[in-house]
Amino acid sequence: MNNIPNTLRLSKLLHPDYQNLVITDVVELNETTKLYALKSAENKELAYYEAGSYIPVFVELDGNVVERPYSLCSSPKEALKGTYKIAVKRSAGNYISTFIIENWKVGDKVKFGSPMVAEVYNKLRDGQNIVALAGGVGITPFYSMAKAVVDGDNDHNLTLFYGANTKDELLFNDEWADLEKASNGKFKLVRVIANEDVEGCERGFITLDIMKKYADVDTATFFISGPPPMMAAMKKELAPLNLPKKRIRISMNGDGGFHTDKKGSYKLTIHMGGETYQTEALASETILVAIEKAGLKPAVYCRSGICGFCRAYVVSGTYEFATDEHGVRKMDQHFGFIHPCCSYPTSDLEIVVQRAK
């Protein structure tokens, strides 16, 4: 029993609530995406993580602190040496990413949380052959994974299919060949370009046939990360394999963006900390975004249905989940709980939400 306080202290040291960091480098990866390198602003060790983890970033906008998760594209080994790296893509639907792209510069002090496990490799569950399917900035967790394979921190084979419209959209182009060479055959990259013929790349979209050409799809566990339409297309490609759920791991992007074509808006009544608020909720935005736009501060962390921090109770009204990866357990659904980060309103809605601490 005497060890419990020490264990908690150790846990806080390894996973502090906040980490104060300073930006040490900014690299323009392409027209829309920048890579940020960061180190501790207080000369502390950085919290460790497994390849594929994400980290919450806290940004102050108009006097409000808002949080967004980003995948860490640095390897665990780089974190041990004192560096985190994240790639941020300018996006019309993500005003935090746009703010970061337009404002962050070398020397700025910024506030991060602790890394959190998302769809990371699990030896007992995932087997030896990993097939990763990536589009856009969704490549970042797999870039970290490829480096972890090379560093020996991840002991599996990795075949990475990376889709883009043009070659210029592909990120980290100068580094893939070196990673393949250093991996002793454990890591292979297949670039699939939709709109142009490029030597050494497949032309078109990532299909099951292309996957079969380079990987043993019968034994693989599939990891998918990218924009919502790409993730939906990949699930469709894999459907003929009839894989059990545990063999398809989906990385939600923390950005919403699943129902952007939906029209209309609803009245949202929010009970939070003994107060009641009313606001508008668009059919095209997650309920979490509507709560935040109302200037409220709900408990939130991953924004991807993983952590359960945003769990809310639905008093009345209807909603739909973003995808099957909403993370709400069957029993919780039965009793009316949702994750607002992965749910969209389909009528006027009344909900009970936890306030951030």
Per CB under 6 A, residues contacting ligand FES are: 300-303, 305-310, 327, 339, 341
67 vs 78 by CB, closer to ligand FES: 67
Buried (b) or exposed (e) across 330-349, using 16+ Cβ within 10 A? Answer: eeeeeeebbbbbbbbbeeeb
Minimum CB separation of residue 177 from ligand FES in Å reads 37
Distance between CA atoms of 85 and 210, rounded to whole angstroms?
31
CA 283 to chain CA centroid, nearest Å = 22
210 vs 306 by CB, closer to ligand FES: 306
Minimum CB separation of residue 120 from ligand FES in Å reads 16
Minimum CB separation of residue 52 from ligand FES in Å reads 16
CA atoms within 13 A on the CB side of 69: 27
147 vs 249 by CB, closer to ligand FES: 249
The token duo for 200 is: 């050494």
> In this structure, are strands 84-89 and 33-40 parallel, antiparallel, or unpaired?
antiparallel
What is the DSSP-derived secondary structure letter of residue 193? E
Distance between CA atoms of 338 and 310, rounded to whole angstroms?
8
Minimum CB separation of residue 94 from ligand FES in Å reads 15
Distance between CA atoms of 192 and 198, rounded to whole angstroms?
9
What is the DSSP-derived secondary structure letter of residue 23? E
The helix (run of H) or strand (run of E) holding residue 134 is strand 129-135
171 vs 252 by CB, closer to ligand FES: 252
Angle at Cα 153 formed by Cα 152 and Cα 156, nearest 5°?
Answer: 75
Minimum CB separation of residue 303 from ligand FES in Å reads 5
113 vs 327 by CB, closer to ligand FES: 327
162 vs 309 by CB, closer to ligand FES: 309
Minimum CB separation of residue 286 from ligand FES in Å reads 9
